[in-house]
Amino acid sequence: HSVWVSTDHDEIEKVAKQFGAQVHRRSPEVSQDSSTSLEAIREFLNQHPEVDIVGNIQATSPCLHPSDLIKVADLLQKEGFDSVFSVVRRHQFRWSEVKKGENKMTEPQNLNPAKRYRRQDWPGELYENGSFYFAKRHLIEKGYLQGGKMAYYEMRAEHSVDIDIDIDWPIAEQRVLRFGYFGREPLKEVKLLVCSIDGCLTNGRIYVTEDQKQMVSYDYRDIVGIGLLKKRGIQVRLISERDCSKTLSAMQLGCVAKASATNKLQVLEDWQKDMGLSWKEVAYLGNEESDVECLRKAGMSGVPADACVVAQKAAGYICKSNGGCGAVREFAEHIFLLLEKVTSARKQ
């Protein structure tokens, strides 16, 4: 009935409220490095007597889908379970640990080496994946997240992502791009990418020669990225607040462009309507405050790594590359991953 973010951090509180969550401000006593989730939840319940079921959703599992949570809530509310937690099926053979200096052999834990079967023929085992823990109030007040009439909820392997250490992060990023939750509306193919020239296609710097001629630089990888987008049937259009018509002519990109755009959102809306596209079919790559409204409107939005803070907050994807240093190519790859997801959904 309500969604809360538990934190003691001002910035996290601000972001949580921007996305419509309510905030439980943790006390210092349950905000230590050694504090447990259970301690924070019990503190929350002490302040909210109206709550009788808590779903503790872990921020380190970013591929969780709403449909899973709805099914779990039904298990507690309609089928009478006291607690439900998430698991994933794994096909891993376990062996006993032999500590250094011990004079003994390892032993198989869940297999018979004499009758070793193929892992794909084995049903596997269920492991907690830490994605969520649902429990009724009376259990939590006793100090348990699991207990009473218990049930597990088996998540799909592709949705089971857990970030524990640094090397998990890039793997999680790719999983989220392929299997993450993209909203209630059906996915649609991107048919138009609008890219801000200054700070995205270029690095935003203008070089002036002694004879007062202006020059800009761009990354050839970005030009390749634009070419790949076109081959996939995606139109690429460029936009700039300054008069850069000579620069565009010299780059010979073959893209529709609008220079001296005093209102980027109006230009974007005109293009979207002229092409008969829904906002879900429009992608936008920007980097400045003047791009914020466009980033919010577009179905897919991105910014280079060095974009201004307000643009980063408005974007759905932040590139690892800076503007003029491969950000366009990187964002193109992000779009291709979405297209793969659309194709896969259609096949299913």
Residues designated as active site: 116
- Please state the φ and ψ torsions of residue 248, each to the nearest 5 degrees: -60, -40
- Residue 179, phi then psi, degrees to nearest 5: -125, 5
Name the residue among 278, 294, 281 with its Cα closest to residue 238. Answer: 294
Q: How far apart are CA 100 and CA 171, in angstroms?
A: 32
Longest CA pairwise span in the chain (Å): 83
> Do the Cβ atoms of 336 and 232 come closer than 8 Å?
yes
Torsion angle, alpha carbons of 279, 280, 285, 291, to 10: 30
CB-CB neighbours of 277 under 10 Å? 17
Both tokens of 149, joined, read: 């009439």
Residue with tokens 């032999």: 98
The dihedral through the CA atoms of 253, 257, 260, 261 has a sign that is: negative
The Cα–Cα gap between 206 and 217 comes to: 8
**Closest of 122, 100, 101 to residue 111, by C-alpha:** 122
Residues 273 and 81: their CA atoms lie apart, in Å, by 51
CA–CA gap between residue 8 and residue 342 (Å, rounded): 39
